[in-house]
Structure 1
Amino acid sequence: MTITIYGRPGSRARRPLWVARELGLSVQNIEPAPGETKHAAFLAINPNGKVPALVDEGFTLFESFAESLYLAKKYGTGRLYPESVEQEAQVWQWTFWGLNELERGLTVCLFERAIKADSDRDAAAAERAELELQAPFKVLDAALADRDWLLGGDFSVADINLAAIAALARPAKVSLDSYAYVLAWLDRATARPAYDG
């Protein structure tokens, strides 16, 4: 059994790839050539014409969070994915929270401070986005004040999904110095051998 994950490891494909590596799954990682995601063969996998996309024994899936949750639940329940309904709900909570509260602001900072050409950057937009990130980082810092991982003592897919977003702070030049617990958690997560930064 080989799972195919389409997408560059440094992109949003990082999430399902990280889960797969944590679980020791056999994965074929394919980076489509420019324009290839618009071809009929790829559109049959992801009709949006984007990566990441996943194929597992004929089952296709798009959206990186759906892919990471699927892999963790199918192959890692009791390890990366919790067995209790309550902890499962916490996995969803932190996954959706990261998408809604952190990813947009960090992406704005990343584009305006690192990806765009210097002449096209909007420093004010990056500053506004970083300011808006302070409240959610404060929430995350408080949640991690008494625990190593989001669900308590065990590393889970919730940590993968959220750390894959929070790690954007570094290339986006967003300071996390005021959030000691977030920094320690992010260092622990990204130090894991399965993380590919």
Structure 2
Amino acid sequence: MFNANNNPLTDDELDLLETFIFSESVSEDSLDLIGIHGFLSAISICPEPVPTEEWQEAIFDGEPNWSEPGQKDAISALLVRWKNEIHNSLYSDTELEMPCDLTLESDGDEEAELEIWAQAFMEGVFLREDAWFNEDKEEVTAELMLPIMVASNLFDEPEFTEIRNNKRLANQMANEIPDILVDLYLAFHAPEK
């Protein structure tokens, strides 16, 4: 359902969120901004609702040590707005603006940013894996999600390794991800004809 509370986060608000994420108040295993975008994309597409408290705790890898009054409400409100923005974009059948380049090429030993995004997306999927891969939708989900699963580098089955080793094919699949997100959303949320 469309949500009116979707003013895009400003650069200052994203900076505030990033500063908080990298503060001592939050677990070192918390998602970064690119990861949060991937995770919220999955939560927005998820076939069944995930309670706010649950998905926010997953983002922070536990409950942060809130250091001042109102901090929890302020940070939570930013995350909810960001999720609403992503959801509304998908609901409107609009290609999602990605927070990273659509390539699996990386600088040196660093993971490609798209890999970080895709790993966090899969983390969101794993919160409700049964809903994503239920009998009715399993084939559609698996087919549509293949590029994201390849990008995540979380799966070591030979077919995934083979695709990742074919740089041209892997990057071609990576470029399809914004369209795939809309297709996944519609597969779960568009009324049956």
Q: Normalising by the residue count of structure 2, what TM-score does the alignment of the two structures yield?
A: 0.28
Name the one with the larger helix percent: 2
Q: Which has the higher contact order (CA 8 A, sep 6+)?
A: 2
